[in-house]
Amino acid sequence: MFVDYVEIEVQAGNGGPGCVSFHTEKYIPKGGPDGGDGGHGSNIVAVADPHMTTLLDYRYHRKYKGQNGRPGSGALKTGKSGETVKLRVPVGTIFKNLDNNEIVVDLKEPGEEAELARGGRGGKGNHFFKSATNQAPRTSQPGEPGERLHLAMELKLLADVGLVGQPNAGKSTILAAFSAARPKIADYPFTTLVPNLGIVSFREYKSCVMADIPGLIKGAAEGKGLGHQFLKHIQRTRLLVYVVDCNEDNIIDTRGTLEKELEEFDETLTERPSLTVITKIDTMPESDLKEIKNKLPAEYMYLSAVSQKGSAEFLQAIERELDKQRT
Ligand SMILES: Nc1nc2c(ncn2[C@@H]2O[C@H](COP(=O)(O)OP(=O)(O)O)[C@@H](O)[C@H]2O)c(=O)[nH]1
Ligand SMILES: [Mg+2]
C-alpha cells in the first residue's frame, strides 16, 4: 500500500466587527442604537468527491483561506457572511491536525462533508448592548478570529492501476509480464486470494503500481467468491483495467458483467477512469482476432502477456490515463 500525503494550512474567515450606529429619522431626535452584527467568517469544509483519485492538486496549492465576515451596519443590518470554502478530496481521505496528531476528519462516503476549520462569529453591534441603564451604548464587539489549523491529508491507495477480470482472465500473467512481481499463475480460478502488487516501469524513469485484483465472478457484489473483500481493494485504485480473455464467447457481455458487479458494489466505480484490454491474443489465429476487433469498441486494446504483443500500446495507454489524472 502506498500513501498520498500532503500538508496544508487552513485559515477560516474572521467574523466581521459589530457596528455602532444610532437610528436617525426626521422628528425623532434620539433614535436608539441600531448597529448590526458582523457577518460570520467562512468555514472551511472537506467534501469527499468520487471523481477525485489523488491529492495531487494540494501539492501545488497548500494554503486555504476563508473570507472574513463583513462588518455590521446601521438599521440593524448584519454583515454578509463569508462563503464556505470547500476542499474536494478523494473518498477515503483522512485529515490529521499536525499540532496534536489527532484525526480531525475521516471521509468514507462519496459526497460526505465535514468541517475542518470554523469561521469566527461576527461581533455584536451596539443594539445588543442596550439596557435600562444604558440607552445609548457606544460599544460593539470585534469579530472572533477564524480557526487556523495545520493539517496533514492522507489517502491510502492500494495501487495506481487495478486489473479487474474474471478468474483466469490472465491478470496475474499481465502483472508478471510487466513487473518484477511473481504472482501465482495457474489454470484454475481463485489462485489470487490477496492482491499482488508490482511496480511497472514506463519510459524515462516513470512508473506506477499495478495490482492484480482477485477474480471477479457474477454475484461478487453480493459477496460471492469473497467478492466484498476484492471489491474494496478496487475502490483504492486510480485506474481500472478490465481484462478479458479473447476466447470468451461474448466479450462484450463479460466486460459488461464485470462493470455491473463493480457498479452494484459502489456506483461511483463506474465513473473511475478505465481501460479495457483483450488478452491472450497469441492463442488465436490473426484472422479470428480481426473478426473480433471489428465487433468491439475501437478503444479496446489487444495484448498477449506471453508473447508481449501489444505491450507498448498497453503501457502507453496506462501512462496516458494516469498522466491525465495528474493535470
Ligand atoms: N497463451 C497465453 N496464455 C495466457 C496469457 N495470459 C494468461 N494465460 C494463461 O491463462 C491462465 C490464467 O492466467 P492467470 O494470469 O493466472 O489468470 P488470473 O486468474 O486472471 O490471474 C494461465 O494458465 C496462464 O498461463 C496469454 O497472454 N497467452
Ligand atoms: Mg491470478
- Please write the tens of the pLDDT for every residue from 144-171: 999 999 999 988 777 889 999 988 899 9
Same structural domain for residues 102 and 46? yes
Q: How many domains does the chain have?
A: 2
Mean local confidence (pLDDT), 203-229: 72
Q: Is the pLDDT of residue 213 over 90?
A: no
**What is the Å distance from ligand 1's center to 110 Cα?**
35
Q: pLDDT value at position 1?
A: 44
**What is the Å distance from ligand 2's center to 170 Cα?**
7
Mean local confidence (pLDDT), 78-105: 92
Same structural domain for residues 38 and 108? yes
Which domain covers residue 151, as residue numbers?
Answer: 2-156
Same structural domain for residues 202 and 275? yes
In the chain, the DSSP E strands lie at: 2-11, 44-48, 63-65, 85-89, 93-97, 102-106, 113-117, 148-157, 159-165, 196-201, 207-212, 237-245, 274-279, 301-302
8 pocket-lining for ligand 1 (C-beta < 6 Å)? no
Mean local confidence (pLDDT), 90-116: 89
**What is the Å distance from ligand 2's center to 64 Cα?**
44
| Ligand at shortest distance from the CA of 282 | 1
**Among candidate residues 181, 292, 295, the one with its CA nearest the CA of residue 245:** 292
Residue 149 is which amino acid?
A: L
Same structural domain for residues 175 and 310? yes
Index of the ligand 1 atom closest to the CA of residue 185: 16
Same structural domain for residues 220 and 289? yes
Same structural domain for residues 166 and 111? no
Integer Rg of the chain from CA? 29
**What is the Å distance from ligand 1's center to 169 Cα?**
6
Pairwise pLDDT comparison (127 vs 230), residue with the higher score: 127
310 pocket-lining for ligand 1 (C-beta < 6 Å)? no
Q: Is the pLDDT of residue 193 over 70?
A: no
Most informative mutation of 173, 213, 277 for ligand 1 (most atoms within 8 A of CB): 173
Mean local confidence (pLDDT), 312-323: 93
How far apart CA 45 and CA 93 sit, in angstroms, is: 13
Same structural domain for residues 116 and 132? yes
Pairwise pLDDT comparison (29 vs 131), residue with the higher score: 131
* CA diameter of the chain: 101
H/E segment holding residue 171: helix 171-178
Mean local confidence (pLDDT), 121-143: 93
**Which residues have C-beta under 5 Å from ligand 2, the single-atom ion?**
172, 191-192
At which of 119, 138, 156 does a domain end?
Answer: 156
Same structural domain for residues 194 and 211? yes
Same structural domain for residues 62 and 130? yes
Same structural domain for residues 79 and 170? no
CATH of the domain at 48: 2.70.210.12
Give the pLDDT band of residue 220 (cuts 50, 70, 90).
Answer: low
Compute the residue count for the chain.
327
Grid cell digits, residue 307? 508473447
254 pocket-lining for ligand 1 (C-beta < 6 Å)? no
Tens digits of residue pLDDT in 20-47: 999 887 777 777 899 999 999 999 999 9
Edge-to-edge strand list for the sheet holding 44-48? 85-89, 44-48, 113-117
At which of 100, 131, 156 does a domain end?
Answer: 156
At which of 138, 156, 174 does a domain end?
Answer: 156
pTM comes to 0.68
| 109: helix, strand or coil | coil
Pairing assessment for the beta strands 93-97 and 148-157 based on DSSP bridges: antiparallel
